Amino acid sequence: MYDLYYSESCPYCRKVIKFFEENNIEYNPKEINNSTYYDELLDIGKKMQVPFIVDQKNGISMYESEDIINYVKKNEKA
């Protein structure tokens, strides 16, 4: 499962969420307005940018909506 750090107001985040939902991809949503998730994002990614996913299973983390979608398509065969 993927951890997805996102902001409700971010159109790129909504694009990733829409892709996940349309393709039944399981993910753990982490809205960065929650200070715990905000701090986690900075600890892991080292910058304040969303969307950001963490794939614990494969040890991968990344920014950029298109990169995220392409990675998940490849990984999930979506």
CA dist 13 and 11 (Å) reads 5
Q: Is 77's pLDDT higher than 80?
A: no
DSSP string across 16-69: HHHHHHHTT--EEEEETTSHHHHHHHHHHHSS--SSEEEETTTTEEEE-HHHHH
Residue 69 phi, psi dihedral angles, 5° rounding: -60, -45
Q: Are 36 and 60 in contact (CB under 8 A)?
A: no
pLDDT tens track for 22-36:
999 999 999 999 889
pLDDT at 78: 52
For residue 37, give its domain range: 2-76
Both tokens assigned to 51: 């969307």
- Tell me the pLDDT tens digit for each residue of 30-66: 999 988 999 999 999 999 999 999 999 999 999 999 9
CATH number where 32 lies: 3.40.30.10
Total structural domains in the chain? 1
pTM above 0.85, yes or no: yes
Give the model's pLDDT for residue 30.
Answer: 97
